[in-house]
């Protein structure tokens, strides 16, 4: 999750706002390198068509040189990806987005319902949080999204981290029945404070796990961003095992640089194999910045295509 673009939508406003991993594809990938990072050679059309591990493209960070979300959906479809995710829904042409998804058969996995500012960690904002989650649930039903990301908020002067987290729990307890009634899952995203989000109140997995357990709803889970978790705490597989029952969604990017898998130090083929072995059956959001040409940087997808050795 990137702060700067979201704040363009969220600052000063209360409006904030893959299918099953299969054994053959992921087991092969676990023993395969992630693929070369971006080169000058463009990839073939529909490079992700038939990909057995289904990934959702973040159409905020993969801009494709297009100004609108619905135009980006068509670009995603050309590459063969089955789904997209995006950030705030306010101010977007949702009719055009739904039309593009319907025409291309591209799904929407999740979007941001409540962002960084104003913070969910401040009780004075809770009435606004509830109101916005109600509106966001209606939007989720309208666009067919089963999940919505929510963000805890930045540090509040004079308030301890424990106090801020308690307020997040309180807000999510109020929102959980709304999400349950709508059939939507709220996914709380911990950030990292070393590189991207200094001053954010929620980072790493233990506190996120504790918050979701305290809320106690099957419709409040964690958006487990592997990039943020790697920077915050490492031991990715061990931490995933500890928080397994609270994970609702995964996102990825490599580090350093927040680019595509294979461009940095995270061993994504091994991680995908681990996710398969422990039974993950959900989506993985590709929330990374292509290092160069978007298509040229998709070599990491090739091990998951039918017929990959």
Q: Which DSSP string do the residues of 25-72 spell out, in sequence order?
A: HHHHHHTS-------SSPPPTTTTTT-SS-EEEETTT--TT-SSHHHH
Note if the bond before 256 is cis, omega within 30 degrees. Answer: yes
**Residue 198, Cα to own-chain centre: how many angstroms?**
19
| Contact of 250 with 283, CB cutoff 8 Å | yes
Strands 55-58 and 83-88 come out as: parallel
Please give the C-alpha separations between residue 176 and each of 171, 201, 293, in angstroms, as whole numbers: 9, 21, 41
Q: Would you please indicate which residues are annotated as catalytic (active-site) residues?
A: 189, 287
Two structure tokens written together for 55: 């990934």
Produce one character per residue of 197-228: b if its CB has 16 or more CB atoms within 10 Å, e if not: beebbbbbbebbbebbeebebebbbbbbbbbb
- Rounded Cα distance between 287 and 90, Å, is 20
């Amino acid at each position: 999750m990137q702060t700067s673009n979201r704040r363009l939508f969220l600052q000063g406003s209360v409006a904030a706002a893959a299918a099953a991993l299969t054994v053959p594809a992921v087991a092969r990938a676990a023993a395969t390198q992630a693929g070369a990072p971006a080169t000058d050679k463009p990839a073939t059309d529909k490079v992700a068509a038939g990909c057995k591990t289904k990934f959702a493209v973040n159409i905020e960070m993969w801009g494709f040189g297009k100004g609108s979300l619905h135009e980006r959906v068509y670009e995603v479809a050309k590459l063969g990806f089955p789904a997209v995710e995006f950030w705030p829904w306010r101010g977007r042409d949702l009719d055009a987005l739904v039309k593009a998804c319907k025409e291309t058969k591209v799904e929407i996995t999740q979007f941001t319902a409540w962002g960084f500012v104003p913070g969910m960690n401040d009780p004075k904002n809770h009435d606004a949080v509830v109101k916005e989650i109600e509106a966001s649930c209606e939007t989720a039903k309208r666009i067919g999204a089963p999940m919505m990301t929510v963000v805890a908020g930045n540090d509040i002067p004079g308030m301890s981290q424990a106090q801020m987290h308690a307020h997040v729990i309180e807000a999510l307890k109020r929102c959980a029945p709304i999400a349950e009634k709508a059939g939507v899952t709220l996914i709380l995203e911990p950030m990292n404070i070393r590189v991207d989000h200094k001053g954010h109140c929620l980072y790493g997995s233990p506190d996120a796990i504790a918050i979701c357990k305290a809320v106690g709803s099957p419709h409040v889970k964690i958006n487990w961003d592997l990039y943020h978790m790697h920077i915050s705490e490492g031991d990715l597989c061990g931490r995933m095992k500890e928080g397994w029952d609270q994970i609702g969604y995964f996102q990825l990017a490599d580090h350093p640089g927040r680019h595509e898998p294979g461009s940095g130090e995270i061993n994504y083929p091994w991680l995908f194999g681990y996710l398969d072995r422990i039974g993950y059956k959900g989506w993985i959001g590709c929330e990374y910045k292509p290092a160069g040409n978007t298509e040229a940087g998709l070599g990491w997808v090739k091990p998951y295509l039918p017929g990959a050795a």
